[in-house]
């Protein structure tokens, strides 16, 4: 997310499968490349190069690029060129503060509203995370982490709250990749998950909220530390 921009090979986006909207396919693939960190902040996005690499016309590429620009994933320079947008220190803090409020509330509701059998999928994700961590498969951890949080949100039984949290999903994923790229950081994250589930079993909603808020603050500090290091 914050590392020095490197040249991205747009041929990695591949060709468009049959029966897919060209614009949507380009949009989803470019967005995932940004979210996953394959396209670092500052990487240039040139409409003609994307179209040439994917062997399609420039119209659907232009459509996808405009959508990504509206959503804040791409930014336009004064000269008119486009590049992958990073987040400022203030924006990082803001996103984490919003997450802390929303996800702490979701965790509180989940602690109260869950049934005993509902916790098994959370425990499965914790074990899967530990297994992959021991195997050194750090690349698999963000997806498992996301699954854990999605299950937890679901136990809140609050569709509108889940919808609001999911509006931040892509930004959250960018942060998770940073937080989980080191074994020590990843291990601590999963310990927080274990604590959350343990307190949910006791229906101790206040403790669940406290751990979730600490979890968010720790993640924020890691991302800001990485931001400061790469922008020193």
pTM of the model: 0.83
Q: Does domain 89-230 have CATH number 1.20.120.530?
A: yes
* Domain chopping of the chain, boundaries: 10-84, 89-230
pLDDT digits (tens, 9 = 90+) for 160-201: 999 999 999 888 988 999 999 999 999 999 999 999 999 999
DSSP letters along the chain, please? --SPP----GGGG-PPPTTS-HHHHHHHHHHHHHHTTSS-TT-B--HHHHHHHHTS-HHHHHHHHHHHHHTTSEEE-TTS-EEE----HHHHHHHHHHHHHHHHHHHHHHHHH--GGGGHHHHHHHHHHHHHHHTT-GGGHHHHHHHHHHHHHHTT--HHHHHHHHTTHHHHHHHHHHHTTSHHHHHHHHHHHHHHHHHHHTT-HHHHHHHHHHHHHHHHHHHHHHHHHHT-
Give every CB contact of residue 70 below 8 A, 6+ residues apart in sequence: none
Burial (Cβ within 10 Å: 0-12, 13-18, ≥19) of residue 5? middle
Residue 6: pLDDT over 50: no
pLDDT digits (tens, 9 = 90+) for 100-111: 999 999 999 999
- In DSSP terms, 83 is beta-bridged to 44, 75
Contact, 13 vs 53, CB < 8 A? yes
Give 5's pLDDT tier (boundaries 50, 70, 90).
very low
Q: What is the mean pLDDT of the chain?
A: 90
Q: What percent of the chain has pLDDT over 70?
A: 91
pLDDT digits (tens, 9 = 90+) for 9-41: 666 665 555 556 888 999 999 999 998 888 888
Fold that domain 10-84 belongs to in CATH: Arc Repressor Mutant, subunit A (1.10.10)
């Amino acid at each position: 997310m914050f590392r020095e921009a490197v040249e991205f090979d747009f041929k990695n986006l591949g060709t468009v499968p049959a029966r897919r909207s060209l614009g949507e396919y380009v949009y989803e693939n470019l967005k995932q490349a940004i979210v996953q960190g394959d396209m670092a902040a500052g990487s240039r996005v040139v409409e003609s190069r994307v179209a040439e690499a994917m062997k399609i016309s420039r119209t659907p590429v232009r459509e996808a690029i405009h959508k990504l620009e509206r959503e804040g994933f791409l930014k336009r320079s004064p000269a008119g060129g486009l590049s992958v947008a990073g987040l400022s220190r203030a924006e990082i803090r803001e996103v984490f503060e919003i997450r802390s409020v929303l996800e702490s509330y979701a965790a509180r509701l989940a602690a109260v509203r869950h049934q005993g059998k509902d916790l098994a999928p959370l425990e499965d994700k914790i074990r899967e995370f530990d297994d992959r961590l021991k195997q050194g498969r750090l690349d698999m951890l963000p997806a498992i982490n996301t699954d854990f949080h999605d299950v937890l949100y679901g136990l809140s039984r609050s569709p509108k709250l889940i919808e609001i949290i999911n509006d931040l999903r892509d930004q959250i994923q960018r942060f998770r990749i940073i937080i989980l790229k080191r074994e020590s950081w990843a291990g601590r994250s999963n310990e927080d998950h274990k604590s959350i589930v343990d307190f949910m079993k006791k229906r101790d909603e206040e403790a669940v909220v406290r751990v979730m808020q600490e979890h968010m603050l720790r993640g924020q500090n890691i991302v800001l530390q990485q931001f400061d290091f790469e922008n020193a």
